[in-house]
Amino acid sequence: MRRGRKPQWQRRIAKERINILLQLAKEETRKGNLKRAQRYVELARTIGKRYNVRLTKEQKDSFCKHCNTPLLPGLTSKVWLDSKTKTVVIKCLICNKIFRKPYKQK
């Protein structure tokens, strides 16, 4: 085992726990318990850092990097398309942080 690397079985368990925590965060947000949802996202990110597990693109896009709130369109975020800059604009309604992701026209 190399220095600084966790065993594969620990990293696999960490990935499973991250998935579970992010699903619980979405459920808690729908119920209205925002503080608990933010805590679940914070724990998921901490586990990812500790076990050197990267979050998938879908997982990264599912929460606000600034306030750890799960981004659910219409509930905790506002989403629109900016055709001028060819981006999807996502605004967190909790901390008013704006995220832009480019898209390609087909």
pLDDT digits (tens, 9 = 90+) for 50-89: 999 999 999 999 999 999 999 999 999 999 999 999 999 9
Which pLDDT band, with edges at 50, 70 and 90, does 1 fall under?
low
pTM equals 0.89
pLDDT at 24: 97
In a domain, 1, yes or no: no
The CA-atom distances, in angstroms, between 57 and each of 7, 61, 91, 101 are 23, 6, 18, 12
In a domain, 93, yes or no: yes
Question: For residue range 2-12, what is the model confidence (pLDDT) as tens digits?
Answer: 677 889 999 99
In a domain, 51, yes or no: yes
Question: For residue range 3-38, what is the model confidence (pLDDT) as tens digits?
Answer: 778 899 999 999 999 999 999 999 999 999 999 999
In a domain, 15, yes or no: yes
What is the span of the domain harbouring residue 50?
8-102
Which one-letter DSSP state was computed for residue 2?
A: -
* Structural domains of the chain, count: 1
pLDDT surpassing 80 at residue 105: no
Whole-number Å distance between alpha carbons of 18 and 15: 5
In a domain, 2, yes or no: no
